[in-house]
Amino acid sequence: MKKAIVLIGASIVISISASSCKKDYRCECTKTYTSGTGSTTTNYSAFTYKDNLKRATDRCKANDDSGKDFFGNYSINCEIK
């Protein structure tokens, strides 16, 4: 009987700790255009991830990008706020 109570208690603690790690993390991205005359940075996009901090950070950083379009060279930088 004591083993059953201990196992039930351990299961409850594990399930609470596993579910409490997931929170809403806001990922905010900025887009910076660079040219010969300087650079311009604007807010680009925002996402909310319900995950643990490491996964949310990894998912957020996966949105980083750079390239060239009609307005010039750009870089997109995202981070958890």
Structural domain boundaries, residue 61: 22-80
- Rounded CA gap, 19 and 23, in Å? 9
Number of residues that this document lists for the chain: 81
Residue 4 lies in a domain: no
> Is 12's pLDDT higher than 80?
no
Task: Report yes or no on 10 lying in a domain.
Answer: no
Residue 51's pLDDT band (cuts 50, 70, 90): very high
Whole-model pTM over 0.75 = no
Asked if the structure places residue 2 within a domain, the reply is no
User: Does residue 5 lie in a domain region?
Assistant: no
Within a domain: residue 72? yes
The answer to whether residue 11 is domain-embedded is no
Considering only CA atoms, which of 42, 44, 39 is closest in space to residue 60? 44
Q: Say what percent of the chain tops pLDDT 90.
A: 65
Tally of domains within the chain: 1
In a domain, 16, yes or no: no
Give rounded-to-5 percent helix, strand, coil for the chain: 35, 50, 15
Residue 64 domain flag: yes
Do 60 and 25 touch, CB atoms closer than 8 A? yes
